[in-house]
Structure 1
Amino acid sequence: MIEKEYKILLSSFQFEQIKQILEFSEFREQNNYYYETELFELVSKGLTTRIRTIGDEYFFQIKNKLKNKTHGVTTKEEFEESVKEIPKVIEIEKIENIIGFKLNIDSKYAYNIGVLNTKRYICYMNDCEIALDKNEYFGNTDFELEIEFHENENQALDIIDNLNLDKSNNPVGKYKRFLLEKMKHQKEGY
């Protein structure tokens, strides 16, 4: 599946405002357990590899960045399969089999490097899925709005405009923010 979306980093005030403005039909708490090689070869290949838990369900997910952000839009190919547990280690060969191509990296394994917790509010407008997220990882909290669309980017832009948000405030994705925070904590000796 191809995913196209806008991501906008929010202040806690903006998060609370949007929570009041939009009528969210779903709430869920999810945990992303991220996997990476010791040499960070997956992220260098544009891959995010994780196990996402939602309630009692476990999903092995891989996101493959197809191209760099164009006008703030992130485009990724997503792969997902249901799994029964959160492993400590995932074989690179398994990742290659799912994405359908060789990564040509030295590592044989990706290791669980930590968890990011998200409290997510979801609603649907103008053929877009809107996710309002509160993310917590390594003692850090951030807020983000994701607007996923299929074909008509203008519908997503209308939502951004109606919420008076600056689409140029598009952050690096959750995984890269997670990695940056992890590296910061490692340097500080945590």
Structure 2
Amino acid sequence: INYYFDTQNYGLANNDETLRVRQSDCGLKLEYKFNKKYSSMIRECQEYSFSIKELPSEISSHIITPFYDRDKTKFFLQGQLVTYRKKFQLDRTEICLDSNYYLGKKDFELEIECEEPEEIEKVIEILGCSCSSRVIGKYKRFLRQKETIGKNILE
């Protein structure tokens, strides 16, 4: 389960950053993703994560300082996304098949994690997949659905 946090005006999302608490069989982990770079179908980013004991309702920016260098602020729980994941290993590459459920929506995604970009192209060729040119992460998809629901409620 991914619990997403952001400012009231979505300051992290607007800077293409993600702050979440991930709940898995291993416990809770706070994760901050930043400095995202996109090239074709590849997304690279820096990640900072550590284990926590309980799910907070808000997170202070001081907890992700030295990486968050803007004004001090608080991040509030925006909602959750549930992922069912099946992992496979191909040489040094991890392949994840995800089913995601959030805000009444279900989608699927293929994640390929590796150290060398050439490995991604190799896996895509082996699987016979075609890919979109721009990757839209789970958090952005979650926010799009949240916005759609909000518009429908107001109409």
RMSD between superposed Cα atoms in Å: 1.7
User: 1:155 is paired with a residue of what secondary structure?
Assistant: helix
Identity %: 31
Please say if residues 32 and 116 of structure 1, whose CA atoms lie closer than 8 Å, have aligned partners that are also in contact.
yes
- Which aligned pairs between 1:64-79 and structure 2 lie closer than 5 A? 64-67=34-37, 69-79=38-48
Check whether the contact 1:126–1:155 (CA below 8 A) recurs between aligned residues.
no
Partner of 1:165: 129
One-letter identity of the residue aligned with 2:51: S
Query: How many residue pairs were aligned?
Result: 154
Provide the secondary structure at the position in 1 that maps to 2:70: coil
1:88-110 deviations in Å (ceiling 9; x for gaps): 1001222224x2x4124xx7211
How far did residue 40 of structure 1 move? 0.8
1:141 paired to 2:103: no
Describe the SS at the equivalent of 1:81. strand
1:150 aligns with 2:119: no
Distance 2:134 2:126 in 1: 17
Q: What are the ranges of 5 or more consecutive residues in structure 2 without an aligned counterpart?
A: none
- Runs of 4 or more off by more than 2 Å in structure 1? 167-171
**Partner SS state of residue 133, structure 1:** strand
Shift of 1:61: 0.4
Residue in 2 that maps onto 1:59: 29
TM-score w.r.t. length of structure 2: 0.92
Structure 1 alignment gaps of length 5 or more: 1-30
Name the residue aligned to 1:27: none
Please give the alpha-carbon distance, in whole angstroms, between the structure 2 residues aligned to 1:52 and 1:180.
20
Question: What is the match of residue 148 of structure 2?
Answer: 184
> What amino acid does structure 2 have at the position aligned with 1:163?
L
- The alpha carbon displacement at 1:87 in A equals 0.6
Residue matched to 1:103: 70
Q: Does 1:82 align with 2:51?
A: yes
- Give the match's secondary structure for 2:54: coil
In the alignment, the residues of structure 2 paired with residue 162 and residue 188 of structure 1 have an alpha-carbon distance, to the nearest angstrom, of 42
Identify the structure with bigger relative contact order (alpha carbons < 8 Å, sequence gap 6+).
Answer: 1
Contact 2:40 2:133 in 1 (8 A): no
The residue aligned with 2:18 is: 48
Q: Deviations over 1:144-190 (max 9, x none)?
A: 00001102x22221111121111235531001000110111112228
- Aligned partners of 1:174, 1:150: CA distance in 2, in Å? 21
